[in-house]
Structure 1
Amino acid sequence: MTNKSDWPAAPGTLAHRMVQGASFVLVGVLCLLSLSAGLLPGLLAVCVSFLLTRALTRVPLAARHAGSSGLPPWLAATLVIVAPLAGLVALMLNAKGYSLLAVQQYQELLNHLANTILEMRERLPPEIVRHLPEGVAGVQELVATHLRAQASHLATVGRTWLHGLLLAYVGLIVGALLATRRPPAQRRPLSAAIATRAAHFIDAFRQIVAAQFWIATFNAVLTALFVLALLPAFGVAMPYDYALVGMTFVFGLVPIVGNLVVNVVMTLVGVSVSVFVGVGCLAFLIGIHKAEYFINARVVGARTSTGVWELLAVMFAAETLFGVPGLVAAPLYYAYAKKELAAAGLV
């Protein structure tokens, strides 16, 4: 019979292998649940909050030491938890102004679309013209009809986003509390194994975030060249050009989803100039989106010692099985798996 005190000191025993296996099973179940049950925003938020809180307290991931400087842990956790609420309050205080601006921009965009369609009606064949709306009223009716047809889908999307935001905020709270939790003097075997798995996962997440920074920079540089150099060379002045470049970088820090948001906004701004500019923006963004598979794989692979073909295969497979969440999680999960294999001396 194995003595309890012998467990941590016997890495080659059956008991030790069972404990390690149990910790890997628990982590694997958590990763699969985050994808299948829609918990990925919460899991990513836990990692972000943990790293932010530790950065504010300047505490290394391995252990807390007496000479560490920075904010007190309770203050760092409070800032991480309260900052999103403060931002939401500030946004709500200015909601009226933003709403009026949005209505004004919508009306300007609508008028521009209507004028563009009226010009197209004069040049296109009659067979196509009869399918186009007439003037502003026709465009408004077309938009309203589409929104009515998509009402149930939009409601579902809204609930999904709200659920994701709530999960993310709960994850922020959990991550901040974990970062400030004082570790016990001595851990039990399973607890120590899970702590090791968590440290490897956080380290893999940190590497992915650093890689995503360079990917966001790459996207912002390409967008700047397109908006500030290529389009003006053809006599096209893109409104909100510098704001679009800045938004591309900020939203580009969020894998995949951030790029989708930028794609929608930039295409709408392009359409506000002309239909052809909107189509050009959409084609440019589709090209970036497809190229990002390879850029993401190369940058992340360089930081995680992973081949480009490995990450591409994992990303395509994860997107096929789990959709966008799988595509977002694939680099992180694979980097974590490689880190565990490397720690075990298997790769």
Structure 2
Amino acid sequence: AAWLPQGDDSAIRAGLVEWLRTHALEIRQYSGNAGRAVLHFIIGLIIGSFIALREASPQQTLAPLASALCERVNRLSDAFHRVVFAQVRISALNALLTGVYLFVVLPAFGVQLPFTKTMIVVTFLVGLLPVIGNLISNSVIVIISLSHSLQVAAGSLAFLVVIHKLEYFVNARIIGEQIKARAWELLIAMLVMEAAFGLQGVIAAPIIYAYIKKELSDRELI
């Protein structure tokens, strides 16, 4: 690509350092957004755990308002559980595709990257985080590919971008099966939530949509 620095490895490294220095503010901003998204997800997991523990405790008679609130919380908890189980399947699919790329595609071109098994494990673990997990695993793979050569890094980036875009449709289908929604419904919900709330909206879209659909279904409105 024309924007990449030309020359030997030292020139490329100098160019990358200069690029990082120039875009330090943007990188800091993206890192902050990613950190907040991970923090919100962890807080959501903690809240979900509290709800699960509450459901395991003996039931007691509640006033009408408390009963209505608990009913909504239970529906939200059910949506959360369904999306989490779907995310495990999605993460396994991500790890499988990454393994195919690292163990089949790259070796076919005579490229052997280090830490391949570690990258697959990392892909599965961080893949449990919706959306942001893909960004983390993709960044790790591209950085390690960069240690081999700039061409391999560019190839890895192109492959991962294509796979990531295709997975939007696969993920929508997998999550849709869990929350009883069609893939196109979930894709629209994700697009709307992304436009309204950004990255956090994409992460929360399946849970919010599953809750809303369950609420409307129980009221026989849909």
TM-score, normalised relative to structure 1: 0.56
Residue 344 (structure 1) shift: 1.8
**Cα distance change on mapping 1:302 and 1:226 into 2, 3 Å:** same
- Corresponding residue number in structure 2 for 1:229: 104
Q: Which residue of 1 aligns with 2:15?
A: 142
Distance 1:132 1:303, change over 3 A: closer
Aligned counterpart for 2:24 among listed residues 151, 154, 164: 151
Q: Distance in 2 between matches of 1:261 and 1:220?
A: 13
Pair 279,170 (structure 1): closer, same or farther in 2 beyond 3 Å: closer
2:74 to 199, 206, 209: 199
Q: 1:334 — aligned with what? A: 209
1:218 alignment partner in structure 2:
93
Tell me if 1:312 matches 2:203: no
Unaligned runs of 5+ residues in structure 1 are: 1-127
CA displacement at 1:134 relative to structure 2: 5.9
Q: Is the 8 A contact 2:5 2:15 kept in 1?
A: no
Contact conserved, 2:48 with 2:77, CA < 8 A, in 1? no
Q: Structure 2 vs 1, CA of residues 172 and 289 (structure 1 numbering), >3 Å: closer, same or farther?
A: closer
Letter in 1 for 2:88: F
Q: CA deviation at 1:139?
A: 4.3
Once structures 1 and 2 are overlaid, which stretch shifts more, 143-152 or 224-233? Answer: 143-152
**Which residue identity is paired with 1:238?**
L
Query: 1:222, 1:236 → 2: CA distance?
Result: 17
* Amino acid across the alignment from 1:149: T
User: Following TM superposition, by how much is the alpha carbon of 1:164 offset from its aligned partner in structure 2, in angstroms?
Assistant: 5.4
How has the CA–CA distance of structure 1 residues 252 and 303 changed in structure 2, closer, same or farther, with 3 Å as cutoff?
A: same
Letter in 2 for 1:243: T
- Please tell me whether residue 275 in structure 1 is matched to residue 150 in structure 2: yes
Structure 2: unaligned runs, 5 residues or longer: none
- SS of residue in 2 equivalent to 1:208: helix
Identify which range, 215-224 or 268-277, moves more after superposition.
Answer: 268-277
Q: C-alpha offsets along residues 97-121 of structure 1, whole Å, 9 cap, x if unaligned?
A: xxxxxxxxxxxxxxxxxxxxxxxxx
TM-fit CA distance, 1:175: 5.2
Write out per-residue CA displacement over residues 179-227 of structure 1, whole angstroms, 9 at most, x where no aligned residue: 5556773211111101000000000110001111111111111111111
Larger Rg: 1
Matches of 2:98 and 2:47, distance apart in 1: 36
**Amino acid in structure 2 at the alignment position of 1:245:** I
Shift of 1:320: 2.2
What is the identity, as a one-letter code, of the residue corresponding to 2:22?
Answer: A
Residues 322 and 281 of structure 1: CA distance in aligned 2, closer, same or farther (over 3 Å): same
Q: How many residues align?
A: 219
Aligned twin of 1:10: none
Q: Percent identity?
A: 37
Q: Which amino acid aligns with 1:240?
A: F
Post-superposition CA distance 1:130-157 (Å, at most 9, x none) = x846656544543443333233334444
**Separation in 2, partners of 1:214, 1:255:** 12
1:286 is aligned, of 157, 161, 182, to 161
**Cα separation, 2, equivalents of 1:266 and 1:234:** 17
Change in CA separation of 1:171 and 1:146 when aligned onto 2, cut-off 3 Å:
same
Higher relative contact order by CA 8 Å / sep ≥ 6: 1 or 2? 1
Does residue 257 in structure 1 map to residue 126 in structure 2?
no
Change (3 A) 1:229 1:177: closer
CA 1:261–1:187 in structure 2 vs 1: closer, same or farther (change >3 Å)? same
Letter in 1 for 2:119: L
Question: Aligned-pair distance for 1:276?
Answer: 1.9
Structure 1 residue 159 displacement after superposition: 4.7
Q: Write the distance in 2 (CA, Å) between the matches of 1:340 and 1:250.
A: 32
